[in-house]
Amino acid sequence: MVLAAGGVGVAVIGVACSDDEAVPAAPTAAATAPPSTPAPATQTATAAATTSAAAPERGQVLVGDVLDHALNSAEWSGEFGFVQFRLHPAFVDGDDAYFIRTDASDENFARTEQLVFAPKLANALTAGAGFGDLFLVEAGVADQRPVLSSAPHRDDFSPLFRLHRVRFSGAATLLDSADAVRRAEADGAATVDATDIVVNYPVVKWPGGELPDDQAREAYLGDGQLLEPVDVAGNTVTFKLHACYPNSRYIVTDVSAPPMSGGMHIAPSPGSAPLTDAGATAEILVFGNGVPGSGPMGFQKSITDTLAGEPAWSPLWDHYTFVWGDEGAAEVLRSNGELLEREDAGDLERFPGTPDTGGQIFIVNCPVPVIAPVA
């Protein structure tokens, strides 16, 4: 399947809501790549390409591992675009896993690694819950990869990881699990330094499973959030790129309620459930009735309560559903302020989670690698 008008092939990509010149500056300097950082090769090629079709509509990239993207496409009927990420290999429990990188709690680390700065993620450390461990091995053997303590095949998985740096005191050996790292530390063969950096590194392929792809490409959920299978050989993974008000272009990777992961066709992340009480989340405001549209429940696009790069931003969204009391009076709302005004007026009723979850909030991991105005 061809996805882009340059770099990765020739395709017809439809236009979306604005010209590139209309895309606002990133919310903070830390949320974008440094000015000296060259654009990904695929973007450079796309900019130089000429085709008989209209140029693909693009937004402002916030994550350095984004290789290509478009805000929507004429290749499928679903109202979403695509975003292609560089894939990162890892070890977990002695086996292979693959992840993407999107957010970090530390401003300097986020700037250096070209990730979205999300300081609220550090609240997981204060709470002592809702995260796993990521071990970066320095001067390791040739086949050494980062080591994750968990992945979606385990019931403690969270996409948040505390970063640790591992250094050998003597000859390096292959470390392929968290247990192996801790044994090397206990034996004096390595030192392990825990940092205060928390990263959001969603795992897309793990022992015994991977995120499913959607070949129909018609619906928000459909058969999965990937547009093609995880490409280990090509070192890439390509997601649906969704839109919500006012300017977030986001992906969907995992959910804290495991029973929902099957129907949503994303990874279960039960280990992230404590992050709401830890103060590490933001809110996604979803419509359960009203104006039909491309939102998660078949109605208008959702609204975020914060924007990527703001101090209160988090890619981990507490899900709230809003229902119009008089559906005939429903109209499209485009900001958190408009929604709260209508809620205060009694026009909208708020349900933590959904009306069917009995007041139970769940968390959906929705990183925002691209921003662009949403019409």
Gap between the Cα atoms of 322 and 325, Å rounded: 10
130-247-18 Cα angle (round to 5): 150
Q: Which residue has the tokens 């949403």?
A: 374
* Phi/psi-derived region of residue 139, left when phi > 0, alpha when psi is between -120 and 50, beta in every other case: left
Give me the torsion for CA of 117, 307, 239, 58, rounded to 10°: -100
User: Which pLDDT score, from 0 to 100, does residue 56 have?
Assistant: 77
Full-model pTM: 0.86
Q: Which residue has the tokens 């609220």?
A: 120
Strands 254-255 and 267-268: parallel
Which residues, at least 6 apart from 186, have a Cβ–Cβ distance to it below 8 Å? none
What distance in Å separates the CA atoms of residue 350 and residue 331, rounded to the nearest whole number? 16
| CA dist., res. 182 & res. 190, Å (int) | 9
In tens digits, what is the pLDDT along the chain, a chain of 375 residues? 434 333 332 222 222 233 333 333 333 333 333 323 334 434 433 333 333 356 779 999 999 999 999 999 999 999 999 999 999 999 999 999 999 999 999 999 999 999 999 999 999 999 999 999 999 999 999 999 999 999 999 999 999 999 999 999 999 999 999 999 999 999 999 999 999 999 999 999 999 999 999 999 999 999 999 999 999 999 999 999 999 999 999 999 999 999 999 999 999 999 999 999 999 999 999 999 999 999 999 999 999 999 998 999 999 999 999 999 999 999 999 999 999 999 999 999 999 999 999 999 999 999 999 999 999
> Chain-centre distance of CA 11, in angstroms?
25
Q: Give the H or E element holding residue 244.
A: strand 236-244
Token readout for 136 is: 């970066």
Q: Which residues contact 326 (CB under 8 A, 6 or more apart)?
A: 347
DSSP 8-state class, residue 12: -
